[in-house]
Structure 1
Amino acid sequence: MAPPLSRRHLFQAAALAAVTPAISYAATGRAVAAVSEEPSVWTVRPFALEDVKLEQGVFADKRQLMLDHARGYDVNRLLQVFRANAGLATGGAVAPGGWEGLDGEANGNLRGHYTGHFLTMLSQAYAGTGEQVFVDKIRTMVEALTEVREALRRDPVVLNSPGKFGTSAENVRGSYQYVDLPAGVLGGTSAITLSAWVRPTHDANWTRIFDFGDNTTRYLYLAARNANGVPRFAITTSGPGGEQGLDGTAALPLNQWSHLAVTIAGGTGTLYVNGTAVARNTSMSLTPAALGTLANNWLGRSNYSGDPVFAGAYDEFDVWSRALTAGEITQLQTARAADASTGRGDLASYAFDETTGGTFADASGRGLTATLRRTWGGPSHPGFLAAYPETQFIDLESRTSPDYTKVWAPYYTAHKILRGLLDAHSATDDARALDLASGLCDWMYSRLSKLPDATLQRMWGIFSSGEFGGIVEAIVDLHALTGKAEHLALARLFDLDKLIDACAANTDILDGLHANQHIPIFTGLVRLYDATGEERYLTAAKNFWGMVVPGRMYGIGGTSTAEFWKASGVIAGTISTTTAETCCAYNLLKLSRMLFFHEQSPKYMDYYERALYNQVLGSKQDRSDAEKPLVTYFIGLTPGHVRDYTPKQGTTCCEGTGMESATKYQDSVYFKKADGTALYVNLYSPSTLTWAEKGVTVTQTTAYPAEQGTTLRIQGSAAFALRLRVPSWASAGFRVTVNGRAVSGTPTPGSYFTVSRTWRSGDTVRVAIPFRLRVEKALDDPSLQTLFYGPVNLVARNPATEYLPFGLYRNAGLSGDLLPTLTPVAGKPLHYTLDGTEFAPFSEGTEDPTHAYFRRSEPRVVLGTVDSGVANPAKADGTTLLDEIWAAAPFAGKGALVSRVRSVVDTWVSAGLLARADGDKVVSTAGKASFAA
């Protein structure tokens, strides 16, 4: 009897049965979806990036800096790691380094992810500007990735480069290629010479020029570099402790041809470098005869699995069954063996003159044809595309603990590549990009669909190694294009049931979880809801959002400390130099946006404004660089923190998402109701919307947030409701006029104000959004506060490394606005000073030491700048007398304020918290003082 299907496999079976591929093929061969790319369940829908033009302003300025990077960066550098992995020529391109090279953190085990980010950035840049340069770069990358996938599907083939005497065979670093020689190549001889011309391109220790052995006990090798960086020859039948060796005296130069030869005869071994004997051992009793026939006979690969593969080129490799004389070895410096008195090696001789194929002819007469191989085995499986072998994916399937030096989030990397390909296809309509994306998902399905549910749950629960980013979202997006049932089934194979079920039940289990590993899971769940209608997915995503905002959110909109979450409500207690990983804000913005498509709760767009205008803008340094995007990884919120715009070793996840953020600033300025009856204005940003279906253009003119309002002008005629977001912080004075006439109604903070009419060309809407200076308190320490003026987080610029103390009530206005306590800086909008310290918008990407949080200090009762001389008392919970007085703002006039002061004083006196005499002084001070409106 067959075992019952698990719940997951029942889902798979249902998906495969219910979803019929609906694909037709255009004349170009491109798969054309028979379904809409936008889900029918979205009650509100976005506009395409090309429909919204950014006009001059802070967003256009920041984007321009990133566009300069996109234009200037050589994409062949990104492609280097892909081409190398496939054994293709890299054209001398230098890998980006950091996470995108073999020398960075964890030996580049995440390489390839950055290429996906870059494709997305280029696609968005093209959509936003229409510049051909971005299309050209996309096509270069897609063409190269197509060649890479094809190369990975076949056995490796020789890569030629100029040799010492003709052509040579090159092994590109990162290709994991080596030359496999037949057994018996050493011939069991008791005297031998091994000779090779090599051109090393990397200085890794213990790379083998050749290694003949059975294992790590019985072998004979020549390393290009030992632990001291010089060549070493060794032979042993009893492991490392029994090695009889020869060590060189100097390192081999990189990117130059060197000749090495080893001779053994009569108990003497000699090592020659470029014709000079550099080492001699007269006690070398071991010879190939003692080794017998060996299993592994390799050029470029070691019998020690942890040793790197040789990177560089081979010209000639010869083996003789005698010890050549010093004079004969001298001849080999200027002539091929075939042209020297030595003749070709009688045991083996390879000239590496082949220009095609993957084998090398043996000219010794013994017919020992050599074969080019990869250390990770045969060709990859169909559809596979990556900048490293399939081995990381294979290892993950049996892994039970994290170790990113072995496995670093392979499905996360696959997600970035997949997303980049989908965006490239969307931007350029290149059929190859869609084919690569579809093939990659076919490959993933072929692997994951064969694994038991328990294995999948274990995999996705492993920190870092099991991280898969927003792959589910991307797969569902692909499914909308291909209609393939396997693609929707694949998306559900990433369900992490423990997390989904807990969040669906509104049970908070986030404490201790890696933040950015889990946030993008929920964008995928929303898209799964779109595709399947399963409420569990959408409910989990909504509840999850509420667990992060505001309970785990810093004032700038960021979340996480050292990449992880702590308990909800712990804000002050988690502030460090590694708070607010930038990727987290990027992904929370995506999730907020996606949830808004289903439920038009203004809280999602309030968060969007907060994170976009503060953390995201502030994460980009205010200068351009062709080589670096200059984007933060962490944004430390400790006192005096200086932002690092070149984090870690470069090409990090946050630099990738930072590139994306800076080229899609316009993606959520406007949304449209699905039936076309309403236009949502979510963000006040200078821009021009082309609403083609309505025949309408909306131009928004503003210097927001330097300007406290915006103007929208309509061209064209159409009937629709204009829904203007009233920010939750806009507590008073939000006003709307149309053609100079006030629109009736009472705007409510944290809502949308609707103006419905048939619009005509020339109609002008003016929105006034008065700002107030306000504080937001850390949930776990009310005395630790951050300052906001409207949407703008103001940070103190000061090198001190302790929290700065500031008082703000001393000149507060009747409205409760704290701004009069600060002094504007002439000629610098949104810059103020307080007690000699300058406050500036967090969004400015400078390298100034900043204080996002400060310690609220109101030691004396000061009202209207008049000091009462009375100490400001506090309750046990930290609430001060001044806090309670100003909590009733706004006040209709000074009389109302004085009345409030008298009432609070009487209450505190009655409670024994304030002496009557002191209370009278406070009331008297309020009566004497003057207050700004």
Structure 2
Amino acid sequence: MKYILSLAMVVMVTQVCAQRSTVPPRDLLRSNSGTAVIKGFIGDKISKCISNRVMVQEGEKILHPFAQRTEKDFNDWRCEYWGKWFTSAALAYLYQPGDVYKHTLDASVTSLLRTQGTDGYIGTYSKGAALQGWDVWGRKYVLLGLLSYYDLTKDNLVLRAAARHADNLIAELKDKQIKITDNGLDAIDGLSSNSILEPMVLLYQRTGNKKYLDFANEMIKAWGRPGKFTKNGLQLVEKGNKEVPPIDIAAPKAYEMMSCYEGLCEMYRATGDTSYLLAVLGFAHSVLKNERMIVGSASNQELWSDGVRQQTEIMQQPMETCVTITWMKLCYQLLRLTGDSKWADELELSLYNALAGAQTPDGSWWSYFSPLNGERVPSTAQHNDVGLSCCVANGPRGLLLTPSWAVMSSAGGLFINLYAPAEYSEKVNGTRVLLTVNSDYPVTEKIEITVSPDKTDSFTLALRIPSWSTNGRLSVNGEWQTFKPGTYCKINRKWKVNDKVVFYPDLRGRLIPAPSGAPQIAVMRGPVVLAIDNRMVTPADDAVWLLPKPWNFENTALAPAGYKGYVLAGHGLTPENKQAYIDLEPVTDKPDDVWMAFNASFLIRPSHFFNHAERKLVLCDYASAGNRFSADNLFRVWLPQPLFLSNAFVKDTWKITYPDKTIRPEAPSN
């Protein structure tokens, strides 16, 4: 396993801090516990998400099913909506604390606890249908919501309510002689119920009650034994350690499977058993190798799908937003546990592309699926009485996680992961440090960070150097620093007020060949995937090739029109030259709702040797591509070589995304 050597420090720290005792190993990086104000493109999306989606949610609609308790089978998952919404609302309050938001949280928890039965159950399923369908999945989200409220308030009444809710599940399973690993939906091998692992371990961490850890331990042991759904058990730990492709681990339901691995992260924190961390790392590396597509998400029809290889094709229901969110949450866990900047690179990729593209421009709604070719389609409401879908409820959880990883801390240091314009306040070694990020990254390359401790002090400031930034520069008060892409540049010095760090990441346009070997190319600029959009690229009879510069002319340089020469078409990528670049010229004449756009040179090659010419086409950022969420606004990421402009855009992809609909879905109006 390639990642074991990079884990040497993690294992050493674990052995020193835990010694396989009950003392949990510390995260190598900790979430920002100070204040954060993120501005620019991402800051705007966060603010709109809070004001137009999370904090305008009708709480009674979500809570009504808990009072009614009429759900009964696999068609019913209203039980998940409150926990998803509430964990988003808790993150919103952490980011923008205030009395109004706090009152919303208080009132919602109070109303939820009124529905708790004398037996401790909080849920939406009828008594006769307990443990059926998505019931345990919903109980998980109730626990996550209650624990997030406890973490904010330290309200022991709420912690006791959460414990009673968990106790009810443990008792009911015992009374009915059902193993948790044999519970849940047959079609997905019970993965939904097994994801209860995460909140059970979180409950143990907060109460110290060993019965919750015993429950978790027994569940993980049962994963390795024959069970109701699989003859050899789910094998999540064993197959994770072996980096088995996700599509070959149990049922290939991406969202629920990753949720189980989130639970293993908490088990590592609780026990210090490195086999759990190694299993999650092996699984995550396998996702990168086999499933994670170019924009930072995965899945087709909600399943693992060999997505790395398949992504250049038209997919039916690609990249479920719930999968995007859960992949980001798993990367966040690994960033905390390992301190490896790779996982911050992944978070940034997903944030600027798959996640940002799934949110409607006004922040009020989300897509269910996000294509790389075709049109964006807003999610339908899966339960009209609640007015939500799984992805609309879940999307904010990923976006509002951003302030937690943008700047992080460790013993004696601050780690900067996000370079969006922002202001952060955080303590290090007891000294309050204000970090001001002045940039419009990733539109332009200059990032200026002002470091202002409240007193001159020595500490480490670590800046994430993205793995793609192979030609960047970084200075401290004018002195150039050395660093390695794909790591943190750690600067330990005595910092004083108004010290300046300036980072110039490498924002050249990069050509990305199709992983399958298909003759298709995509373009990336920094963390941003680019696409063509029919608002800026008009269909024509031309066939065009995307080429790096300098163009490969026979015997001469690029000549004026009419030159009797030829250009050899090729992307410039060879075993010796694994990265090729293209010139990207910023475009200012673009639609107002497009964040960034660039002219790129394409080749028109009408015959074998003669009349080859250059043509400029506009590429825009993936999140803006198709962002009108209409049947008329089409886009594509992967560009066949050559690309026939007359059929560059595929129409009516909503019909394969929603085959059961006769009318194209539309986002609800505010």
| TM-score, length of structure 2 as denominator length | 0.76
Q: Does 1:109 align with 2:76?
A: yes
1:832 paired residue number: 598
Alignment-derived partner of residue 336 in structure 2: 597
Aligned to 1:528: 267
The answer (yes or no) to whether the contact 1:804–1:855 under 8 Å persists in 2 is no
Deviation at 1:564, TM superposition (A): 1.0
In 1, Cα distance between the equivalents of 2:238 and 2:176?
21
Aligned to 1:672: 409
Whether contact under 8 Å (1:694, 1:718) holds in the other structure is yes
Summarize deviations over 1:710-731 as a string: whole Å, max 9, x none.
Answer: 2211222321111111111112
Question: Residues 465, 550 of structure 1: CA spacing in aligned structure 2 closer, same or farther, 3 A cutoff?
Answer: closer
Letter in 2 for 1:119: F
Q: Aligned runs of 1:229-240 on 2, under 5 Å?
A: none
Q: Residue 5 of structure 1 aligns with which residue?
A: none
CA distance in 2, matches of 1:506, 1:645: 33
1:536-583 per-residue CA deviation (whole Å, 9 max, x = no partner) reads 211111100011113211110110111111347532476413111111
SS at match of 1:578: coil
Which ranges in structure 1 are unaligned for 5 or more consecutive residues? 1-34, 86-100, 154-381, 396-406, 860-933
Distance change >3 Å, CA 858–CA 797, structure 1 → 2: closer
In the superposition, relative to structure 1, how do residues 56 and 499 fare at CA in structure 2: closer, same or farther (>3 Å)? closer
Name the SS for the 1:666 alignment partner: helix
CA distance 1:689–1:743, shift in 2 (3 Å): same
The answer to whether the aligner puts 1:141 opposite 2:111 as a matched pair is no
- 1:794–1:841 CA contact under 8 A, matched in 2: yes
Kept in 2, the 8 Å contact 1:82–1:145? The answer is yes
CA apart distance, 1:855: 0.9
Asked if the contact 1:52/1:687 (under 8 Å) is kept, the reply is no
Q: How does 1:220-259 map to 2 (within 5 A)?
A: none
d(CA) in 1 for partners of 2:152, 2:543: 51
2:56 partner amino acid: G
Secondary structure at 1:775 match in 2: strand
Structure 1 counterpart of 2:28: 43
SS of the residue 1:489 aligns to? helix
1:774 aligns to what? 510
Task: Report the equivalent of 1:866.
Answer: none
Relative to structure 1, the CA distance from residue 107 to residue 756 in structure 2 (aligned partners, 3 Å threshold; closer, same or farther) is closer
Q: Tell me if 1:682 matches 2:417.
A: yes
Going from structure 1 to structure 2, the CA distance change for 1:824 and 1:833 (only over 3 Å counts) comes to: farther
Please tell me whether the aligned partners of residues 579 and 636 of structure 1 are also in contact (alpha carbons under 8 angstroms). Answer: yes
Structure 2 CA distance, aligned partners of 1:707 and 1:426?
Answer: 39
Q: Say whether the 8 Å CA contact 1:112–1:387 is kept in structure 2.
A: yes
Question: Residue 476 of structure 1: CA displacement?
Answer: 1.7
Q: Superposition pairs for residues 128-207 of structure 1, below 5 Å?
A: 128-149=95-116, 152-153=117-118
- Cα distance change on mapping 1:137 and 1:719 into 2, 3 Å: same
Q: RMSD of the TM alignment (CA)?
A: 3.1
- The residue type paired with residue 412 of structure 2 is T
- TM-superposed deviation, 1:390: 4.0
Per-residue CA deviation, residues 270-291 of structure 1 (Å, 9 max, x unaligned), is xxxxxxxxxxxxxxxxxxxxxx
Which of 359, 362, 367 is the matching residue for 1:623? Answer: 362
Cα displacement (A) at 1:822: 8.2
More deviation, 793-802/749-758 = 793-802
Please say if 1:539 is aligned against 2:305: no
Counterpart residue number, 2:562: none
In structure 2, how many angstroms separate the alpha carbons of the residues matched to 1:600 and 1:575? Answer: 36
Is contact 1:808-1:821 (8 Å) kept? Answer: no
Partner of 1:558: 297
Q: Structure 1 residues 765 and 527, CA, compared in 2 at 3 Å: closer, same or farther?
A: same
1:419 aligns with 2:144: yes
Paired residue secondary structure (1:560): coil
Give TM-score scaled by structure 1 length: 0.55
Distance in 1 between residues matched to 2:513 and 2:407, nearest whole Å: 31
Choose from 455, 458, 462 the match for 2:182.
458
Instruction: Choose from 618, 639, 642 the match for 2:376.
Output: 642
- Tell me the distance in 1 between the aligned counterparts of 2:426 and 2:548: 49
Q: Is the 8 A contact 2:264 2:280 kept in 1?
A: yes
1:515/1:725 CA distance change after superposition, 3 Å: same
After TM superposition, list the pairs within 5 Å mapping 1:21-60 onto structure 2: 39-48=24-33, 51-60=34-43
Give the CA deviation at 1:607.
1.1
SS where residue 474 of structure 1 aligns? helix
Provide, for residues 789-809 of structure 1, a one-character-per-residue CA deviation record: whole Å limited to 9, x for no partner. 111111211399999965222
The question of whether the paired residues in 1 share the 8 Å contact of 2:66 and 2:115 is answered with yes
Residue ranges of structure 2 left out of the alignment (5+ in a row): 1-21, 225-234, 553-578, 601-614, 645-670
CA apart distance, 1:71: 3.0
CA distance in 2, matches of 1:647, 1:788: 33
- CA drift at 1:138: 1.2
2:236 aligned with 1:499: yes
CA distance in structure 2 between the partners assigned to 1:643 and 1:62 by the alignment: 18
Task: From the superposition, tell whether residues 786 and 452 of structure 1 become closer, same or farther in structure 2 (CA, over 3 Å).
Answer: farther
Q: Residue 842 of structure 1 corresponds to which residue in structure 2?
A: 622
SS at match of 1:758: strand
Matched, 1:490 2:222: no
Find the aligned partners of 1:491 and 1:560 in 2 and give their Cα distance: 28
Contact kept, 8 Å, 1:557 with 1:607, in 2: the verdict is: yes
**CA spacing shift, 1:44–1:665, aligned 2, 3 Å:** closer
1:807 to 508, 532, 545: 545
Name the count of aligned residue pairs.
551
| CA–CA separation in structure 2 for the residues paired with 1:810 and 1:44 | 39
> Alpha carbons of 1:145 and 1:821: their partners in 2 closer, same or farther (altered >3 Å)?
closer
Higher strand share: 1
Q: In structure 2, which of residues 521, 538, 544 is the aligned counterpart of residue 785 of structure 1?
A: 521
Give the secondary structure class of the aligned counterpart of 1:473: helix
Letter in 1 for 2:376: V
| 1:641 partner amino acid | E
Deviations 1:33-88 (A, max 9, x none): xx99xx4332222223xx24123211221112122233333212212112223xxx
For 1:729 and 1:804, how far apart are their aligned partners in 2?
A: 32
Distance 2:542 2:245 in 1: 34
Q: Take 1:430 and 1:616, find their aligned partners in 2: how far apart are those partners? A: 33
* Alignment-derived partner of residue 410 in structure 1: 135
Give the counterpart letter for 1:472 in structure 2.
Answer: L
2:55 matched to which residue of 1? 71
The answer as to 2:498 corresponding to 1:762 is yes
